[in-house]
Amino acid sequence: MSLKPLTDLPTTPQKIKRALISVSDKTGITDLAQSLHKSGVEIISTGGTAKAIEKEGIPVKDVSEVTGFQECLDGRVKTLHPMVHGGILARTSHEADRNEISELGITPIELVVVNLYPFKDKVADPDVTPAEATEFIDIGGPTMIRAAAKNFAHVSILSSPAQYTSFIEEFEEHMAISFDTRRALAKDAFAHTADYDSAISNYFTKLTEEEPAKQINISLPLSQELRYGENPHQKAAVYGDQNDFIDCFHGKQLSYNNYLDVDAALNIISDFDDTEPACAIIKHTIPSGVGVDANLTEAYKKAFSTDRVSPFGGIVVVNRKLDIETAKAIDEIFTEIIIAPDYSEDALELLTQKKNRRLIRIKKSVKEVQATSSRTIFGGMLDQEADLTPSDPNTFKVVTKRKPSEQEMKDLLFSWKVVRHVKSNAIVYAKEGRTLGIGSGQTSRVDSSEIAVAKAGKEGLELSGSAIASDAFFPFADGVEAAAKAGAKAVIQPGGSIRDEEVIQKADEYDMAMIFTGQRHFKH
């Protein structure tokens, strides 16, 4: 959609004679106030902001002097007054507006500096009460921001301390602020209030336990612009707070596809706690191999042995500090990204020798906050609870005559952890803490099984005595029969097919142990 040019708005640089400053985050505010004061700008302020500026010896007029009305209701009302908002909203390029504010005794305000109460930080505290949270809902602040942003043709609005430095530089050089700058600041201001309102709306949605939410409000800050998307001809950017979860401290900037792979890696490794070392190798968001062992190096070797081709240019993720022996093993092939909670000094010395290899440190588990999963579709988006519910073996049901042995049970639980991270239709063969064959993304479950078997054969891995996991039920007995002929002796699947009895009979026929979990792990 093409927009009409802004020919009906005054686009000349705007001089600043009067500024209103009222901020929650006082970072850099005295430097800004000092610059304005030196340039002869009259400063109006409120409460704690006024005190911080006055402390530096800078003259400040309290907003009550402008309104002729003292602040009241414990500070809830102080700027909501025509003398304030008339000064902000006056279109000083319009003769009618100039005449009207002159008659009313209102003086224009050309600069508004406001940021809001830290509502997000407050409600992030699990112990905060609704009464405490609602006191951090700013009223006057958003009103002033929106008023100034609406009148950007005549007013500059600073809504973040990050804007102060460039603003001061432009103001001190030209003694005025350009139209383009004012328009850009207005855009940032509206984004700021939209994010603030989204946080409040989402809080009240949780407070009222509304499921599903009648409206989803998403407001994410730009994290960084990317070189391109999935393909070079696609523009792309990443939004949100990825730096809260990872620290990519070595190598090139992560690409669009890298972020998808890192997300997959973080999700699968989060399923393996610190009871034993675990390693997963990811390629195109799918695990090519997963291994656990008492030794991290052996866990990596188990994962790598599942598929010795796909790991080239892939991602390796581990759940323990990466030691030098494991680093040496990984370094034997080209690995694009390595992810670990931490790295030993000698491992870092080795791995940082390759400039293009990305090294990532895990700062926080995705399980801590990833409660929902969303995807865009035509006309909107899909939203669901994330598939993070841990499996409870106590709810599993052995449906065959033979129960799994202790080792088979370990293999079944391991393969069940892995299969939830494989694209449907998903099949995983596993034994003794290692994946032997992984089949994914096929239109037929039998096809996925055949691919898994073929991959195991290609790597010379023996499937005899293995466990097989299926993300959804086997619709026909032929899937179990094929697994038995491949060498599998234990099966874990959700169950729920109208042919479950036939499938169970086939498992009994081959003396297999089979578990129904009652839980499906489709991953489309």
Q: How far apart are CA 335 and CA 319, in angstroms?
A: 17
**Under DSSP, is residue 176 helix (H, G, I), strand (E, B) or coil?**
coil
Length in residues, the chain:
524
Q: How far apart are CA 218 and CA 194, in angstroms?
A: 9
Taking every pair of Cα atoms in the chain, the longest distance, rounded to a whole number of angstroms, is: 97
Q: Which of 472, 492, 518, 499 is nearest to 414 (CA)?
A: 492
Q: Which two tokens stand for residue 369?
A: 């906050």
Q: How far apart are CA 504 and CA 502, in angstroms?
A: 5
CB pairs under 8 A, 24+ apart, for 69-76?
A: 71/46, 71/47, 75/47, 76/139
- For residues 352 and 359, is the Cβ–Cβ distance under 8 A? yes
Q: Which of 201, 186, 80 is nearest to 133 (CA)?
A: 201
Query: Tokens 């409600």 map to which residue?
Result: 123
Of residues 26, 284, 321, 410, which has the active-site annotation? Answer: 284
Instruction: Mark whether 150 is an active-site residue.
Output: yes
Q: Which of 212, 197, 60 is nearest to 116 (CA)?
A: 197
Q: Which two tokens stand for residue 415?
A: 């393969």
Q: What is the DSSP letter of 368?
A: G
Q: What would you report as the CA-atom Rg of the chain, rounded to the nearest whole angstrom?
A: 31
Beta partners for residue 383, in sequence order: 374
Q: How far apart are CA 180 and CA 12, in angstroms?
A: 9
Residue type, 119: F
Of residues 61, 120, 150, 354, which has the active-site annotation? Answer: 150
Taking CA 241 as the corner, what is the angle to CA 267 and CA 208, rounded to the nearest 5 degrees? 85
Q: Where are the alpha helices (DSSP H) in 118-178?
A: 119-123, 130-134, 140-150, 164-174
Q: Which residues are catalytic?
A: 150, 284
